[in-house]
């Protein structure tokens, strides 16, 4: 999802919310007869007249097609697609075509991290997140790990990766999960 | 802030991880509703053209809404609409939920909430005399319910508290730890 589609989601939700509030308030005022201008019965004659016009089905059909296209496009915007695979090498310039595979560099860093004894597994990828190009490393660590040590190791792996990638506009994030499967040190009782 | 020229630099710290929240779900809902509305509009056009049988739904709806008078049910229905509307506006304005508790480190390193609980649980379980442990909370406050076989529960309580604090000392802002302890029923 992009920032734009999040913004659209938010804006439409606010609009629908406001509409519901207005409808609710008007309905209650109508029942309580608190607004002088509201007639006691509804009249949709004007709407029915519009629908009777010869051009109505054309407008209705065209609007329908547009609504379906917009709706499908909107749905597609919710598919996860924030992954980035290739990036320009630093110093390539605007027209430069020197590219490197960012996701495999991230994956290599994750493999390096996973080799540490306290880390069980790690995956690395590059994604766009709220306007930043973020190298994400997700790792699973042992429940008995020394957190200070893991933090230090993760810092080192990320710094190495920064060296490899060489771009100043990259951001880093490491997410650690503690493994549920506990390697028990207790003697098994049978 | 690091630059490309300084040696020994690291990646800049990315924004804290956040969950998706309820917004994308609502977005999908509105998008599906829009598609459905489009289908109805096209159907109506086809009905008018004589390509489909039946009546035009837009016209039927307009007729159904004609000549209505304000019934009693309109008040609770209006109140429900206002409440739902306010809830939608509040959800839309609420920031996305935070995920992850940060470790004290140069780069952005985060633990999940359940991981912090798990670490606390392993630390507590490793204390001598501890029988069972249950952990709740995570970001700001950890609550531990433990049972012990030891004759002096108060000592065990302090040990558990100390063990968990020590275990989570690498967090940037460690949660406050509160331990409640009981003697196990079968302790003699």
Average pLDDT of every residue of chain A: 84
Pairwise CA distance, residues B21 & B32, whole Å: 19
Once rounded to an integer, what is the mean pLDDT over residues A129-135?
A: 83
Give the residue from chain B lying closest to A127, CA to CA: B14
CA distances from B125 to A49, A186, B147, B175 (A): 76, 12, 10, 18
Show residues of chain B in contact with A143, CB under 8 Å. 118-119, 121-122
Query: Residue A181, Cα to own-chain centre: how many angstroms?
Result: 30
Q: Provide the ipTM.
A: 0.72
pLDDT exceeds cutoff 80 at A189: no
pLDDT of A166 over the 60 cut: yes
In degrees rounded to 5, what are phi and psi of residue B124?
Answer: -65, -40
CB contact under 8 A, B78 and A28: yes
Output the pLDDT for position A172.
86
pLDDT at B3: 41
pLDDT band at A17 (very low <50, low <70, confident <90, very high): very high
* A to B CB pairs, distance under 8 Å: 293
pLDDT at A188: 57
A27 part of contact set with chain B, CB < 8 Å: yes
Mean pLDDT to the nearest integer, A140-167: 86
Nearest CA in chain A to B170: A148
For chain B, the average pLDDT equals: 86
Closest listed residue to residue B23, CA positions, set A21, A66, A3, A72? A3
Tokens of A13: 């939700």
Chain B residues touching A147 at Cβ < 8 A: 103, 111, 119, 167-171
Q: Which pLDDT does position B23 carry in this prediction?
A: 87
A83-113 pLDDT, tens digit per residue, is: 677 776 666 666 666 667 777 888 888 888 8
CA distance B79 to B73: 10
Q: What's the pLDDT score for residue B4?
A: 42
In chain A, residues 119-158 whose CB comes closer than 8 Å to chain B: 129-130, 132, 134-136, 143-144, 146-148, 150-152, 154-155, 158
């Amino acid at each position: 999802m992009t920032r734009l589609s999040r913004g659209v989601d938010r804006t439409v939700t606010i609009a629908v919310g406001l509409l519901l509030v207005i409808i609710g308030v008007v309905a209650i005022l109508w029942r309580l007869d608190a607004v002088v201008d509201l007639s006691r019965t509804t009249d949709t004659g004007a709407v029915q007249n519009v629908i009777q016009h010869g051009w109505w089905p054309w407008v209705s059909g065209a609007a329908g097609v547009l609504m379906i296209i917009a709706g499908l496009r909107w749905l597609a915007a919710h598919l996860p697609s924030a992954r980035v695979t290739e990036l320009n090498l630093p110093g390539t310039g605007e027209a430069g075509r020197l590219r490197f595979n960012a996701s495999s560099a991230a994956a290599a860093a994750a493999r390096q991290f996973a080799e540490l004894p306290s880390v069980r597994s790690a995956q690395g990828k590059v994604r766009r997140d709220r306007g930043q190009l973020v190298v994400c490393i997700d790792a699973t660590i042992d429940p008995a790990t020394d957190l200070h040590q893991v933090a230090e190791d993760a810092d080192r792996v990320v710094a190495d990766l920064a060296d490899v990638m060489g771009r100043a506009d990259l951001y880093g994030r490491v997410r650690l999960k503690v493994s549920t499967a506990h390697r028990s040190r207790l003697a098994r009782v049978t | 802030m690091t630059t490309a020229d300084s040696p020994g630099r690291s990646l800049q710290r990315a924004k804290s991880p956040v969950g998706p929240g309820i917004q994308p779900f609502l977005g999908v809902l509105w998008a599906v509703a829009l598609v459905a509305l489009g289908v109805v509009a096209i159907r109506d056009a086809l009905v008018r053209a004589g390509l489909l049988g039946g009546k035009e739904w837009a016209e039927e709806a307009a007729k159904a809404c004609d000549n209505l008078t304000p019934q009693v049910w309109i008040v609770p229905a209006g109140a429900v609409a206002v409440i739902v509307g306010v809830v939608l506006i509040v959800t839309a304005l609420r920031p996305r939920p935070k995920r992850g508790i940060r470790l004290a480190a140069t780069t952005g390193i985060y633990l999940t909430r359940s991981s912090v609980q798990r670490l606390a649980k392993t630390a507590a379980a490793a204390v001598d005399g501890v029988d069972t442990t249950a952990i709740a909370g995570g970001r700001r406050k950890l609550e531990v319910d433990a049972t012990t076989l030891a004759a002096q529960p108060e000592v065990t309580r302090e040990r558990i508290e100390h063990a968990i604090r020590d275990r989570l000392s690498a967090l940037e802002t460690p949660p406050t730890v509160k331990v409640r302890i009981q003697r196990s029923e079968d302790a003699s």
